[in-house]
Structure 1
Amino acid sequence: MSMRSTSTTCEATTCDEPKSVALKEENENAHKNAVPNCDEIGPFHEIAFVFCMCCAQLHAQAAVAQAMSATQEIAKSFGVENSPGEQAWFSASFSSTVGTFILASGKLGDMFGYKLMYITGTLWFALWSVICGFSAYAKSAIFFDVCRALQGAGSALLFPNAIAVLGHYYPQGSRKKTIVMCLFGAAAPSGFNIGALFSSFFGMKVWWPWTFWVCGISSVCLALLSYLFVPKKIGTPSRNEPFDWVGSTLAISGLILFNFAWNQGSNVGWQVVYNYVLLIGSVGLLVAFAVVEAYLKNPLVPIQLLKGEPAFVLGCIATGWSCFGIWLYYTFQWAFYIDKVNEVIAAVQFIPCSVTGFMASFTTAYLLRRTRSSFVMMMAMGAFFTGIVIIGTRHVGQTYWGQKFVSCLIQPFGMDMSFPAAMIILSNHFPPSKQGTAASLVATVQNYSVALGLGFAGTVEKYKTQHLPETFESKLLGIRVAFYMGMGLAGLGVVFSVIGGILQWKEDSKKAQPYKAEQE
């Protein structure tokens, strides 16, 4: 029995060797095809190129902030200032489509080229940013939500393809690749701060649509700069590979309905029958998607590559970024309704996040080259949990420089340590021809979890306060229980990261055993 097992193992190893060698050679040589490649590009050209790619993250997070910091002004325009559920949709509609359509847009980048899809996404994002501004004339919150969702579809195109461009342009394991991935992550808090400051300023001093119009103008400029400075021939488009229409339809339909059911449940309540129907239907579609992907030759999501380390990384991203979405939205709600500060002051209070965001990114770049990725992910999950516990237990009337300031210093470490770590891990596990898919998986889980976390927290808030009169105390209770929901999600992320760390340690130990045996 032992000889048979050994023989089978040797045969499997022999069969896998040519594939492993071919994959290794493909990974090592993929970055050399770009014009100019990473060894030939000039300093100014490279800075402009990396800046254009980081702007994908910056624009995505700025777009999230556009609706959060100006929630009250937007709600007044549409007559929904007394409907927290409707207001939550201003942000959730954007994040849900970003997270949903990223899954297919990464594959489109693999097929038609990352640079083309990036520029296409930037222009689409610009178009719907402008239309979001003009939706103020329609006087319809639903129309605004639809425009926000279509704006998110543009971000879904540019976001994963920017990551794929960086992942494909620089060789695996290189110092530059680690640094640019961390810079990409560091752009998140800066982008949010820029979006929050502009939207709050325009909301108070001019008119809130101007933040969307300015965003559209800047996106057109970004598309032009990207055309000029992003190197050519990054990646080899695999147009002969068929697009997974069946899987894409099932995944997009299932994800949209699942997210809609949870966010609408916090708006109209779960006693409404169609919410249950949509939730059950969405689960059925997602199960069908998983079954179909397991049998397709060219699946949208290569399930076989998600075993081991990539699987636990995606689980951590899901729980951590759900917590982050709750922390972000309800920290603004606390500022508006409990601290009674205006939009500009609320936005300014988040500025420390940008500073610690850069610190976290370069700390991550240092740690990823010297420690296990599981350790970095554990630190990130610990930051998510600590940050939301500190803000969630804050006392009414406490100064900003107390718990809120400390929370704003800690929370970016969760964002900017988890995202680069996850991107580098998945980028190194996927072949160059699948870099768009790897990027889309991380970005899908990240953005989708933000919207889904708001749905979970909103449902808890609604059912804890719906039988109470609308008073200061009931509003405080609703925000508190939403924070508690975020704490639970972050705690689950800590558990996932610890389990993943143990599994990675065991896997590394098994790999080290043959070398120890040879030395003995």
Structure 2
Amino acid sequence: MATVSETTTTPQQQQRRLGSAQRVNASSTWHRPTSLSKATRSLITTLIILANVVQFVSNFVTIAAGTTFTRDFGRKSGPGQANWMPASYSLTQGAFVLISGRLGAVYGHQRILLLGGAIIVVFSIANAFCASYESFVAVRALTGVGGGLVMPNAVAMITIMLPPAGRVTSPWASSPRPRPSVAGLAPCSPASSPRRERSGSGCLSSCKGPPVHKKGKIDYTGACLGVGSLLLFNFCWNQAPSVGWKTPYEIACLVLSLALFASFLLWEKFVATEPVMPLDIFRTPTFTALVFVVLLSYMSFGISLWYMISWQQELRGWSVMQTAVGWIPFAMGAVVAVGLAAWLIPRMAAQWIMAIGIGVMVVSNLLLATMPVQQTYWAQTFPAVLVGSICPDFVYVAAQIIASNSVSRKQQGVAGSLIGTLNLYGNSLGLGFAGTIETELTKGQVDPIKGYRAALYFGAALAVAGLLIDFAFVRMPKDEREGWGADTEGETYHDELGVTGHATGVQRETPVGSLA
């Protein structure tokens, strides 16, 4: 009777091996780091970073010139009057970031990024023809939808194309500060090789591939509940400074926003088959704490930014151009900050990098809150601006690395959406809270200084709260992945304190050639 040698495989074994190889290939075809040349990957990264620059410039326009635009439309720029100028774009951008990562996972991150860019272009042009304050703010809000589609999908494209995230998250985080050094963050030349002479859109198309969740579905019910709750809650707080909390629709909107958010959580947990925000993403012990830390940090940063500009323009008579010149140290400091953050990534745990960013925000708010009404720019405003420039890069880089290392490949867009939501939504929500405090303290008073100081002290308190949560609960999950393999849900990890948690990260896959 014939015998089977030890090296012979049965048809069943061969079929299993083939299936394993196909699964590995299917999970790593288009995003494998070696699938694109180094120069092409660098060019694509640069283009994606530039897309982020565009959406941030669009956002910053009404932050730097918000009080001036408000006066141009015939409205007062005092307490509670101009806050919608900086808040409208961030409001819709932060809310729609929640769903845009999922849209990218299903329809393709590249497609959603390009759609977001088109929306920014169309409504930015429409803004130039607005003749009233209300129409201008409304169109600004629509422009923010485009920004919400751009940001998380750009992050997802980078982290999937060039994992692990730490390689390019630092230069990505630096892109929201328009400066000459952006071109040097991902050096490449389109003309460096005849084979690479192509347009920007053509280069972006080279990383086009099947969506990471092509057969997935969009949870439109969950999206409507989640986005609706975020929009209404933020609207209440940013509208309250101008109309007051005694206005009936304010209370009604607040109650409705909380009801929608509760419904969103229940729907995502018990009903949705493919939720827009899978609640199991919060299973890692550190992730929930990370959410609060990032939200509080950017609420504090938004308050510091707006009241620094308002102080200079409203109390010291600075023009928009003078404000721009006074903001130059921020850009210079951010260049140093992003380089320092990149240098610290392999040398310091991400939660401590984030703590540095939050700590300087405490200092920045306190410097602004305690300065005299009339004082030379160099005494306290300059150090506040320079020190505050460290916060966005350090917090964003650290948060993205912690989030990306904690989730699977399919959840990269969701994680990017969540961090982006907290970043942008926090800026707008912080202005709503601070505006309410400012308005309540300056009722019947001509001098707004008391309200300014109270708002800045509140910003410092938010940063202190974020710092305490970071120290107590945020830890960096150890990640030894090399590239992306097949998704492995349910694995466990041990953080730096020895705490065991449930991770949704990706387990390294055995190479196809060594399948046994």
TM-score category of the 2 structures, normalised to the smaller one: 0.7 to 0.9
Question: Which residue in 1 is equivalent to 2:169?
Answer: 181
Cross-structure match for 1:489: 462
- Note the C-alpha offset of 1:32: 4.9
Give every structure 1 segment of 4 or more consecutive aligned residues whose post-TM-superposition deviation is greater than 4 Å: 28-32, 191-194, 501-507
Bigger shift: 258-267 or 398-407? 398-407
The CA distance in 1 between the partners of 2:419 and 2:457, in whole Å, is: 25
- 2:201 and 2:295 map into 1 onto residues whose CA distance is 30
Pick the aligned partner of 1:399 from 373, 376, 393: 376
| 1:376 positional shift | 1.4
**Judging changes above 3 Å, is the alpha-carbon distance between structure 1 residues 329 and 43 closer, same or farther for their aligned structure 2 residues?**
same
C-alpha displacement at 1:450, in angstroms? 0.5
1:124 is the counterpart of 2:99? no
Other-structure match for 1:171: 163
Distance (Å, rounded) in 1 between the aligned partners of 2:178 and 2:63: 15
Letter in 1 for 2:498: K
Map 1:496-507; keep pairs closer than 5 Å: 496-501=469-474, 507=495
Task: Report Cα offsets for 1:242-272 as digits up to 9, x if no partner.
Answer: 2111111110111111000000001111111
Deviation at 1:380, TM superposition (A): 1.6
Q: TM-score, normalised on structure 1?
A: 0.81
Contact 2:290 2:474 in 1 (8 A): no
Letter of the 1:466 partner, please give it: K
Preserved CA contact (<8 Å) 2:43 2:203: no
**Is 1:387 aligned with 2:364?**
yes
Name 2:256's counterpart in structure 1.
281
Aligned residues: 446
Farther-moved stretch of structure 1 (458-467 vs 477-486): 477-486
How far is the alpha carbon of 1:458 from its aligned partner? 0.2
Q: Which residue of 2 aligns with 1:151?
A: 143
Which residue does 2:400 correspond to in 1?
Answer: 423
Letter in 1 for 2:421: T
What does residue 33 of structure 2 align with? Answer: 38
Percent sequence identity over matched residues? Answer: 26
Alpha-carbon distance change, 286 to 269 in structure 1, aligned in 2, over 3 angstroms: same
SS of structure 1 residue aligned to 2:448? helix
Structure 1 residue 467 displacement after superposition = 2.5
Structure 2-normalised TM-score? 0.81
CA RMSD in angstroms, aligned pairs only: 2.5
Q: Counterpart of 2:294?
A: 317
Say whether the 8 Å CA contact 1:119–1:227 is kept in structure 2.
no
Compare CA radii of gyration and give the structure with the larger one.
2
Return the match for 1:463 from 440, 443, 455: 440
Q: 1:283 to 1:342 in 2, by over 3 A?
A: same
The answer to whether residue 346 in structure 2 is matched with residue 369 in structure 1 is yes
Supply the AA of the counterpart residue of 1:68: I
Q: Deviations over 1:249-302 (max 9, x none)?
A: 110111111000000001111111110110011011101111111123311111
Residues 234/398 of structure 1: CA separation in 2 closer, same or farther (3 Å cut) = farther
Secondary structure of residue in 1 paired with 2:128: helix
Deviation at 1:76, TM superposition (A): 3.0
Q: Residue 300 of structure 2 contacts residue 430 of structure 2 at CA under 8 Å; is this kept in 1?
A: yes
Task: Report how far residue 226 of structure 1 moved.
Answer: 3.9
Pairwise CA distance, 1:103: 0.7
Out of 435, 439, 444, the position equivalent to 2:421 is: 444
Letter in 1 for 2:468: V
The 1:235–1:41 alpha-carbon spacing in structure 2 relative to 1, beyond 3 Å, is same
Whole-angstrom CA distance in 2 between matches of 1:266 and 1:383: 28
User: Whole-Å Cα distance in 2 between the matches of residues 163 and 347 of structure 1?
Assistant: 28
Rate the CA distance shift 1:402–1:110 in 2: closer, same or farther, 3 A. same
What corresponds to 2:245 in structure 1?
270
Which structure 2 residue ranges, 5 or more long, are not aligned? Answer: 1-19, 183-198, 479-493, 501-516
Secondary structure of 2:214's partner? coil
Q: Which runs of 5+ in 1 are unaligned?
A: 1-21, 195-223, 513-520
Q: Summarize deviations over 1:448-493 as a string: whole Å, max 9, x none.
A: 010000000000000000122x2xxx22122111111111111111
Distance apart, 1:422 and its partner CA: 0.9
| Match among 439, 442, 448 for residue 475 of structure 1 | 448
Q: Is the 8 A contact 2:80 2:436 kept in 1?
A: no
Instruction: Say if 1:397 and 1:77 are closer, same or farther in 2 by CA, change over 3 A.
Output: closer
1:243 and 2:218 matched? yes
Q: 1:232 maps to what in 2?
A: 207
Q: Is the 8 A contact 2:349 2:476 kept in 1?
A: no
CA distance in 2, matches of 1:266, 1:225: 44
Letter in 1 for 2:452: I
Aligned to 1:204: none
- Partner residue, 1:201: none
Q: Give 1:330-349 correspondences, 5 Å limit.
A: 330-349=307-326
| Maintained 8 Å contact 1:57/1:191 | no
